[in-house]
Amino acid sequence: MLQITNLHANVGDQPILKGLTLSLGAGEIHAIMGPNGAGKSTLGYVLSGRPGYEVTEGEVWFTPHVFPGEGRGPEPKTEDSSAALDPGLRRGTQGPINLLDLEPHERAAAGLFLGFQYPVEIPGVSNVQFLREALNAQRKNRGEAPLSGAEFLKVAREQAGALGMDMDMLKRPVNVGFSGGEKKRNEMVQMGIINPALAILDETDSGLDIDALRIVGDGINRIMRKPDKAVLLITHYQRLLDYVKPDFVHVLADGRITRSGGPELALELEREGYRELAA
């Protein structure tokens, strides 16, 4: 579903990613662990297209469920004439697209979701308005009909309820006055509503108390543990992995993956620390 090959990226003039290679298949959950400053958050930002994060080398190919048709997206690499949707759109799971050629909003429409480590406060814009606009922009980009206000509220109510967030919070301005835990929970409500194919969750577990951690973990499993989806969990700690069992664990150190393994690697890291393993 996601193939990252020899990815190099700079923030300003500073090289952060230095030849990162990683492959995520559909139905898989991968955890990336690593010391501070290794480039974990940079990886999330580069994949979602944050301005100022410049890719200098390497490739990222992504296979979406439905290909974005609008905007300045590239032509798909492989010809696929089957079951055309609207002009410019293709459905399928075969032909990967070059993720790095897409604008951030096109990547979102293609099915990529970044759970922010520090969700941003947007004064004056209500959660409901923001999410409805976001969801419908993605649907439009994929050639799907927009959801009506009532349809949207039904979905929003379900997702908020499942994450123990009341509707009043959804009506408040995006993340304004939310506690750290509420912001992270709000990220998961957004993920539930948007229902992406690939989620990159950047330290979604930080700032959560034990109960909230379990609720968020359950949310990730419920929304993303599907045969046609994949998750990249960026975390410092083993504890989230008790709730969301990864299929693969990778160590990211100094801008590249230095070690990969199964879930037992996370336990080993917790015991031994990064220094031994990152070398």
Partner 1 sequence: MGTATLPTRGDEAWRYSDIDALARAWPLPAAECVVVPADGHFARTIFQNSGSVHTLDIAIGTGATAAIHILNIGGEYGRVELNVTLHEGADFKLGAVQIGGGNQNLEIITTVTHAEPSATSSQIVRSVLAGTATGTYLGKVAVARDAQLTDSVQSVKAMLLDRSATANAKPELEIYADDVKCAHGCAIGELDPMGLFYLQARGIAPADAKKLMLQAFVAGVFEGAADEEMLTEAALKKLGDLV
Binding site for partner 1 (CB under 8 A): 48-51, 71, 103-105, 107-109, 114, 116, 119-125, 129-131, 133-135, 137-138, 141, 173, 190, 194
**Non-local CB neighbours of 71 within 8 Å, separated by 6+ positions:** 103, 105, 106, 141
Our CB check for partner 1 shows the closer of 108 and 241 to be 108
Buried (b) or exposed (e) across 71-81, using 16+ Cβ within 10 A? eebeebeeeee
Our CB check for partner 1 shows the closer of 51 and 227 to be 51
Our CB check for partner 1 shows the closer of 75 and 133 to be 133
Residue recorded with tokens 């459905």: 91
In contact, 110 and 138? CB cutoff 8 Å: no
Instruction: Name the minimum Å distance from CB 243 to partner 1.
Output: 25
Instruction: Name the minimum Å distance from CB 22 to partner 1.
Output: 20
Instruction: Name the minimum Å distance from CB 262 to partner 1.
Output: 31
Our CB check for partner 1 shows the closer of 178 and 274 to be 178
Cα dihedral 24, 28, 29, 30 sign: negative
For the chain, helix, strand, coil in percent to 5 are 35, 25, 35
Instruction: Name the minimum Å distance from CB 118 to partner 1.
Output: 9
Q: Distance between CA atoms of 182 and 58, rounded to whole angstroms?
A: 36
DSSP for 114-129?
A: EE-SSPPPEEEEEHHH
Instruction: Name the minimum Å distance from CB 276 to partner 1.
Output: 35
In contact, 182 and 120? CB cutoff 8 Å: no
Our CB check for partner 1 shows the closer of 138 and 238 to be 138
Residue recorded with tokens 């700032």: 207
Our CB check for partner 1 shows the closer of 87 and 123 to be 123
Neighbours of 171 (CB within 10 A): 11
Our CB check for partner 1 shows the closer of 117 and 235 to be 117
Our CB check for partner 1 shows the closer of 10 and 129 to be 129
Q: Distance between CA atoms of 28 and 229, rounded to whole angstroms?
A: 7
Instruction: Name the minimum Å distance from CB 124 to partner 1.
Output: 3
Instruction: Name the minimum Å distance from CB 170 to partner 1.
Output: 14
In contact, 117 and 206? CB cutoff 8 Å: yes
Instruction: Name the minimum Å distance from CB 194 to partner 1.
Output: 7
Q: How buried is residue 175: exposed, middle or buried, by Cβ count under 10 Å (0-12/13-18/19+)?
A: buried
